[in-house]
Amino acid sequence: MTSFSPREIVSELDRYIVGQHKAKRAVAIALRNRWRRQQLEGQLREEVLPKNILMIGPTGVGKTEISRRLAKLAGAPFLKVEATKFTEVGYVGRDVEQIIRDLVEIGIGLVRDVRRKGVEAKAHLAAEERVLDALVGATASPGTRESFRKKLRDGLMDDKEIEIELTSSGQGMPMFEIPGMPGAQMGAVSLGDMLGKAFGGRSKPRRVTVKDAHPLLLSEEADKLIDQDAIVQEAIRSVEENGIVFLDEIDKIAGSERRGGADVSREGVQRDLLPLIEGTTVSTKHGAVKTDHILFIASGAFHVSKPSDLLPELQGRLPIRVELEALTREDFTRILTETEASLVKQSVALMGTEGVELIITEDAVAAIADIAVQVNASVENIGARRLQTVIERVLDDLSFTAPDRAGDKVVVDGDYVRTRVADLAGNTDLSRYIL
Ligand SMILES: Nc1ncnc2c1ncn2[C@@H]1O[C@H](COP(=O)(O)OP(=O)(O)OP(=O)(O)O)[C@@H](O)[C@H]1O
């Protein structure tokens, strides 16, 4: 849980996302509200419910990105789901609970990573001992062992092959749904988990190089040092208190009564989602999870339907409405250059790995933005995603030949961009496929 103020949260988001101030502001308040709630005691703390958000705006303008970055900032378990997924044939009402089950798995992953970091130094030493055991045997004299330890630390043993025993944790074992169990309430039971518990995991000998063995042993030793049950408990708590679910395409399940047909199932999906958002308890294989304080961010373009076409109960549960604006040409140039890990920075860095010095001039950036705007207008507006397709095309040749061009300096300017994509961009039919 972060104690950043809303202003600080917005400025963090500003590093990655251009514009969309209202949406950033809304999520910043939502996050701060969580922190405020944590400061409360007793009953009042339970009463404070999250103010879920409805983001309204065209595709590719940063709705998901804002939410994802917010979650990252807060270290919160985050899951994106398309609401339309639940209208597909074969889905039944309880399937929406899978959202929470998936969120728990994500939460476990996050907590495990943090805990592993905490024991890394200790695990590192333990892994080293195991590599040494494999290299010189457990009975070698201390002198021999220490001399090998030195060689190992100097990286002299990296390519040597050793045999190590790894305990398979049951991960990757098939999962079985229990048929006929009321509402798949158990979720999925992993055979691996059952066997793992019963037999304490199976040991599998493997031959690997010292260099490859270390990370494998490291994660195994780290897992030994951390209490798995405590991880699960903390993950569940983290999901309950900090979890964020991003429900995309909510507009597509908003059906007005007049249309009939498929709308029945749309309304059905809304009804299924409602308890999750209102607060319910979902059973997972790790235990019960209360959804009362999970933050839901719903999003949609609402070109056809309106937020008022959603079930009234659902509307009430999404009280904060924010509109995201379509991106302008200026936004595109800023997205290309100013954001942390912008596409231009990424391209330059990637070419750098090949020894090619890539320079993308201001003029080139302007040309890429122009073309993105043009194709968005003529073919389909996919927002900032268009920048990716355009830049890919611009750098296509260079990407292919870069390994032969180590030491070269390549300057991409406006003309370079135009010669590579202007024809395509001018031809709507072609750009439909290529840009
Ligand atoms: N305002 C922005 N600033 C920086 N990057 C952006 C912005 N808008 C979109 N992008 C980039 O474009 C891509 C798509 O954005 P995002 O996933 O947020 O779209 P979205 O608005 O959620 O659309 P959809 O509803 O279709 O999922 C991402 O890679 C994101 O980084």
The pLDDT confidence band at residue 80, using thresholds 50, 70 and 90, is very high
Residues 72 and 124 in one domain: no
Query: For a substitution probing ligand 1, which of 61, 325, 373 has the most ligand atoms within 8 Å of its CB?
Result: 61
Per-residue pLDDT tens digits for 339-365: 998 999 999 999 999 998 999 999 999
More confident residue, 89 or 72: 72
Assigned domain for 232 exists: no
- Residue whose entry in the numeric block shows the structure tokens 């719903």: 298
Quick one: which atom of ligand 1 is closest to the CA of 65? 18
Q: Is the predicted pLDDT of residue 151 greater than 90, yes or no?
A: no
Average of per-residue pLDDT across 29-53: 87
The whole-number pLDDT of residue 264 equals: 56
Average pLDDT of the chain is: 83
Question: Considering the entire predicted model, what is its pTM?
Answer: 0.80
ipTM of the complex: 0.97
* Alpha helical stretches, state H, 340-413: 343-352, 362-378, 385-394, 396-401
* End position of a domain, from candidates 225, 258, 273: 225
Per-residue pLDDT tens digits for 96-124: 888 999 999 999 999 988 888 888 888 88
Assigned domain for 230 exists: no
For residue 55, which of 318, 376, 327 has the smallest C-alpha distance?
A: 318
Going along 129-174, which residue ranges are E strands?
161-168
What is the total count of domains within the chain? Answer: 3
Which CATH number fits the domain that encloses residue 316? 3.40.50.300
> In this structure, are residues 218 and 124 in contact, taking their beta carbons and an 8 Å threshold?
yes
Residues 46 and 195 in one domain: no
Residues 17 and 96 in one domain: yes
Quick one: which atom of ligand 1 is closest to the CA of 19? 1
Residues 124 and 219 in one domain: yes
Window from 70-79, 162-171, 291-300 with minimum mean pLDDT: 162-171
Assigned domain for 113 exists: no
Residues 257 and 334 in one domain: no
C-alpha Rg value of the chain to the nearest Å? 26
The pLDDT confidence band at residue 229, using thresholds 50, 70 and 90, is confident
Residues 244 and 214 in one domain: no
> In this structure, are residues 283 and 187 in contact, taking their beta carbons and an 8 Å threshold?
yes
Residues 408 and 429 in one domain: yes
Assigned domain for 335 exists: yes
Average of per-residue pLDDT across 82-89: 80
Residue numbers in the known binding site are: 18, 60-65, 248, 313, 385
Residues 76 and 169 in one domain: no
Helix (H) or strand (E) holding 113: helix 98-118
| Amino acid, res. 123 | A
Query: For a substitution probing ligand 1, which of 64, 65, 244 has the most ligand atoms within 8 Å of its CB?
Result: 65
Q: Is the predicted pLDDT of residue 168 greater than 70, yes or no?
A: no
Q: Give the range of the structural domain holding residue 148, as residue numbers without chain letter.
A: 120-225
Assigned domain for 231 exists: no
CA of 63 to the centre of ligand 1 (A): 6
* End position of a domain, from candidates 323, 358, 386: 323
Window from 134-138, 230-234, 289-293 with minimum mean pLDDT: 134-138
Residues 100 and 128 in one domain: no
For residue 27, which of 48, 46, 13 has the smallest C-alpha distance?
A: 13
Pocket around ligand 1: residues whose beta carbon is below 6 Å from it?
A: 17-20, 59-65, 248, 299, 327, 335, 339, 383-385
* End position of a domain, from candidates 303, 323, 343: 323
More confident residue, 351 or 156: 351
% of the chain residues with pLDDT over 90: 38
Q: Is the predicted pLDDT of residue 249 greater than 50, yes or no?
A: yes
Residues 201 and 135 in one domain: yes
Quick one: which atom of ligand 1 is closest to the CA of 66? 18
Assigned domain for 1 exists: no
Residues 196 and 280 in one domain: no
Assigned domain for 288 exists: yes
Residues 245 and 193 in one domain: no
The whole-number pLDDT of residue 12 equals: 92
Assigned domain for 371 exists: yes
